[in-house]
Amino acid sequence: MSGGGHPTARAEEVAKFDRLAARWWDPEGPMAPLHRMNPVRIGWIVERLARSHGRDPAAPQALRGLAVLDVGCGAGLASEALARRGAAVTGLDAAGEALEVARAHAVAEGLAITYRAGTPEALPPQESGRFDAVLALEVVEHVAERAAFLRHLARLARPGGGLVVLSTLNRTPRAFLLAKLGAEYVLRWLPPGTHDWRMFVTPAELGAELRAAGLRVTDIAGMTLDPLRGTFRITRDVGVNYLLAAQR
């Protein structure tokens, strides 16, 4: 689904995540890595977004009234976590079956989240600059024409301080061993074929593309897996999973 330019969604990737829709909210299912990762990545995002608006990140409703666009939201793991902190969340995805699961789950949880089918380039001009934060979490390694995708994210962020936050995988030998071979073929955390290592992106490459899109990179952090606890924590090690924030 696209408009105003080349489509950034790859049909095979959309189909792949639609097939996983029914088990998206199973913490021990194929989305187990996202369930383990979600608390630390949401904490990192809330801290930066709240502080950019002069708020206490520890406040239960630290994001009250802030408009957040969750691009590639899937069945809503990040969208729901941010809505619980008070954000006015719009979830956007090209995977229709995942969105149906997202809508049903939000209703069951009593959360008011707007879910929309599509891709960022398809959003109309009146949406430009509307969002205090635009997120694409575990998405850029799956899109077509990454530089164009980032330009569309930048367009949607609020001028004069809107944040674009990404989380993705570094293209390193260690990421290939851990996030590709380890997660898909050894631990079986993800279905084989979930990732294409050639689509992983280094922080330097991503930073250059964000700057070309008119954004200023403000922060970067690694997300490192604790193998004993099976949970992630924020570190300086960006060799496998990392978060990056940029400001418009």
Binding residue positions for S-adenosyl-L-methionine: 41, 72, 93, 137
User: Checking phi first, is residue 114 left (phi over 0); if not, alpha (psi -120 to 50) or beta?
Assistant: beta
Find all residues with CB under 8 Å of 62, minimum gap 6, and list them: 46, 49, 50, 55, 56, 85, 86
- What is the token pair recorded at 11? 């049909």
For 214-247, the DSSP string reads T-EEEEEEEEEEETTTTEEEEES--SSEEEEEEE
Question: Rounded to the nearest 5 degrees, what angle is found at the Cα of 12, between the Cα atoms of 7 and 17?
Answer: 105
Q: Which residues, listed in sequence order, are joined to residue 167 by a DSSP beta bridge?
A: 137, 243
Please identify which residue in the block is written with the tokens 């294409």. 196
Please identify which residue in the block is written with the tokens 């674009």. 164
Whole-angstrom distance, CA of residue 201 vs CA of residue 68? 24
Instruction: Return binding residues.
Output: 41, 72, 93, 137
User: What are the backbone dihedrals phi and psi of residue 87, each rounded to the nearest 5 degrees, phi first?
Assistant: -70, 150
- What is the token pair recorded at 55? 């708020």
Cβ contact 140:130 at 8 Å: no
Whole-angstrom distance, CA of residue 31 vs CA of residue 94? 18
